[in-house]
Amino acid sequence: MKYIAAGNTMIDNGHYADGRRVTQNLGGPAPFAYSGIRIWDDEVQLISNVGRDFYTIFKEWLDKNNVDTSGIVAKLDTSNHIDMYFDEHGDVLDIDSGTDKRNTYLYAEKIGYLKLFPEELSKFTEGKNVKGLYMAQNTDRLIWEKFAEIKKRDGFKYMWEIEGAHCIAKNMEDILFALQYTDVFSLNIGEARNLFETDDEDEIIRKLKELPVDMILFRVGKRGLFTIKEGKHYYHDSIKPERLLDPAGCGNTSTGSAMYSYCETDGDPIAVGIMANIAAALNISYYGIIPHMEAEREKANAMAKELISKYKSK
């Protein structure tokens, strides 16, 4: 496969401000990023550790999309299940694994069992001519040292979407270490505020430009996003979706799409930003993951062609 989306898989229960509640949506960073790539290209593989309930719950989606399941490994009886609560603007209010400390502990334990490590990823990249890889990741040094060896050996481009809890000022040294092995760095506005300890967006952008990485995808919620490259920043307004249903995973989906665009357009910051926003607009139009990704391709390509041309003609 040319592309890989790797990492955690979640099964989401969505709770919305208007009283809607939707259960057992496919989510998590890796599946959402997979969908953000798959809308453009079939040559992408999902690599994730799951519970065996995953195959029962999502069999229809797997079959409809002809998903290669060789990298989806059942390690426990049940997958990671979470409840996500959204406010009236579609922003996440809370992510809950249960109502008591025991449930929280068991959830954390399960996350650990199902975490994907570099040595599990290696066999899917070695000798496979992988162009680009997405994986949400923390800042643990040993994980990054092992990952660096794989990246050096196999030569793919890497999109790092930082895990939010690790995007804080005291972790800056570890973040800089990880950026040595990163081609594109993705974070949202809340994470950037925590990292730089400021709410001033202009100051955040200035500081992002100082980071040692080729490109940054700076996501600013429903407003859209910025791409940052070679000391310049490009604002990309969000794209109005056909339906406004479920904001879960828009960041992951847009980040996966950005990774694909980065590899296919030689790192064009305009194409990267626009294609990321297209993926987010498609994602928010459905509950959970995009149900039939190939069916969105013609529309996505037409939108990308029109919007990239319009942006560059300004």
* Mean pLDDT for the chain overall: 95
For the whole model, what pTM was predicted? 0.96
Average pLDDT over residues 245-256: 96
pLDDT tier at 97 (50, 70, 90 boundaries)? low
Question: 170 is written with which tokens?
Answer: 């005291």
% of the chain residues with pLDDT over 70? 97
Tell me if 218 sits within 8 A of 205, measured CB to CB: yes
| Half-sphere exposure in the Cβ direction for 10 (13 Å, CA) | 24
What residue spans define the domains of the chain?
A: 3-166+247-312
Reported as a single tens digit per residue, the pLDDT across 18-29 is 999 989 999 999
Q: What is the pLDDT of residue 103?
A: 62
* pLDDT at 98 exceeding the cut of 60: no
Average pLDDT over residues 124-137: 98
Q: What is the pLDDT of residue 88?
A: 82
Nearest by Cα to 116 from 148, 143, 156: 143
Pairing of strands 184-188, 157-162: parallel
pLDDT tier at 258 (50, 70, 90 boundaries)? very high
Reported as a single tens digit per residue, the pLDDT across 176-233 is 999 999 999 999 999 999 999 999 999 999 999 999 999 999 999 999 999 999 999 9
pLDDT tier at 256 (50, 70, 90 boundaries)? very high
Nearest by Cα to 153 from 116, 177, 117, 128: 128
Average pLDDT over residues 6-26: 93
Question: 190 is written with which tokens?
Answer: 């809340």
CATH class of domain segment(s) 3-166+247-312: alpha beta
Tell me if 22 sits within 8 A of 86, measured CB to CB: no
Sheet-wide strand order for 10-15: 21-27, 10-15, 80-86, 92-96
Q: What is the pLDDT of residue 225?
A: 99
Reported as a single tens digit per residue, the pLDDT across 36-84 is 999 999 999 999 999 999 999 999 999 999 999 999 999 999 999 888 8
DSSP conformation letters of the chain: --EEEES--EEEEEE-TTS-EEEEEEESHHHHHHHHHHTT-S-EEEEEEEETHHHHHTHHHHHHTT---TTEEEEESS-EEEEEEE-TTS-EEEEES-SSHHHHHHHHHHHHHH---HHHHHHHHTTS---EEEEEE---HHHHHHHHHHHHHH--EEEEEE-GGG-SGGGHHHHHHHHTT-SEEEEEHHHHHHHHT---HHHHHHHHHTSSSSEEEEE-GGGEEEEEETTEEEEEEPPPPS-----TTHHHHHHHHHHHHHHHTTS-HHHHHHHHHHHHHHHTTSSSS-S-SGGGHHHHHHHHHHHHHHHHT-
Reported as a single tens digit per residue, the pLDDT across 150-184 is 999 999 999 999 999 999 999 999 999 999 999 99
